[in-house]
Amino acid sequence: MHRLVISMKLVIFGPPSAGKGTQAQKLSKKYGIPQVATGDLLREHVAKKTPIGIKVKSYLDSGRLGPDDLIVQMIGERVSKPDCINGYLLDGFPRTIGQAQELEKMTDIDLVLNIVVDFEALVERAVGRRICPKCAAVYHVKFNVPQAQGICDKCGSKLIQRDDDKEETVRRRLNVYKEQTAPLVEHYRKKGRLVDIDGSSGIDAVFAQMVKAIDGIKK
Ligand code: AMP
């Protein structure tokens, strides 16, 4: 695959389990722009016990959003690094209208890719997921069934369900996403900078829609 170097500032919105991370990685590779994932950056700050990390730890632990000013400062610093010269892909930012307004003061966003997936399909996808605690292989009780029920094909370990794949947790995270993101979707839609991506098809089909949308706005 050829890497195209273009200046491109993208934002990706998508509920948990919608395949946002997978698509962000593929886009980052295709367009040669870094994926700037707020959650990953924050976890890194916490692990390194930086001043930002110390301030945001309790927010991360409780699943609440961190303070806008801190997050905006962190993103501002990250996108000023040399690897962002040709653009970047924001994943997990902005998450509030305040953050979107601050981002607008910093730069112009070329396109917001909004992954749309039916919530019930996401619940089914996440709740049925089983993972091997030993070798990290991923299965699904309906879509990717192991040969022997509940046992890893690769290493024979007993499969488990991740805590955050429990139905109650999945529904809570989806509701938080809906409440936080819906106003942002409308904000960018009004600006004519947002395109809906049907996230119900396979990984390659979703990626193809994104590439089409991006190539359609290339300067
Ligand atoms: P994520 O990995 O994107 O789900 O983010 C993990 C946690 O980091 C969230 O639950 C928040 O506590 C925090 N976080 C991530 N992005 C933001 C943001 N844009 N604004 C505020 N808090 C955030």
Q: Which of 172, 170, 161, 167 is nearest to 64 (CA)?
A: 172
- Does the beta carbon of 45 sit less than 6 angstroms from any atom of ligand 1? no
- Does the beta carbon of 59 sit less than 6 angstroms from any atom of ligand 1? yes
Give me ligand 1 centre to Cα 151, in Å: 33
Amino acid at 38: T
Binned at pLDDT 50, 70 and 90, residue 218 comes out as: low
The pLDDT value recorded for residue 165 is: 86
- Does the beta carbon of 92 sit less than 6 angstroms from any atom of ligand 1? yes
Residue 149, classified by CB atoms within 10 Å of its CB into exposed (0-12), middle (13-18) or buried (19+), is exposed
The active-site residue out of 29, 49, 64, 162 is 162
Binned at pLDDT 50, 70 and 90, residue 6 comes out as: low
Report the mean per-residue pLDDT for the chain: 91
Pocket test for ligand 1, best of 20, 65, 68, 78 (most atoms within 8 A of CB): 65
- Domain at 8-117+174-217, CATH class: alpha beta
Pocket test for ligand 1, best of 42, 59, 73, 78 (most atoms within 8 A of CB): 42
Give me ligand 1 centre to Cα 138, in Å: 24
pLDDT one-digit tens code per residue, 71-102: 999 999 999 999 999 999 999 999 999 999 99
* Closest residue to atom 11 of ligand 1, CA basis: 65
Give me ligand 1 centre to Cα 154, in Å: 34
Determine the Cα–Cα distance for residues 50 and 53; give it in Å rounded to an integer.
5
The pLDDT value recorded for residue 4 is: 53
Per domain, the residue ranges of the chain are: 8-117+174-217
Question: 209: number of CA atoms within 13 Å, CB side?
Answer: 17
- Model confidence, pTM: 0.84
* Closest residue to atom 1 of ligand 1, CA basis: 39
Residues 156-161: what's their mean pLDDT? Answer: 96
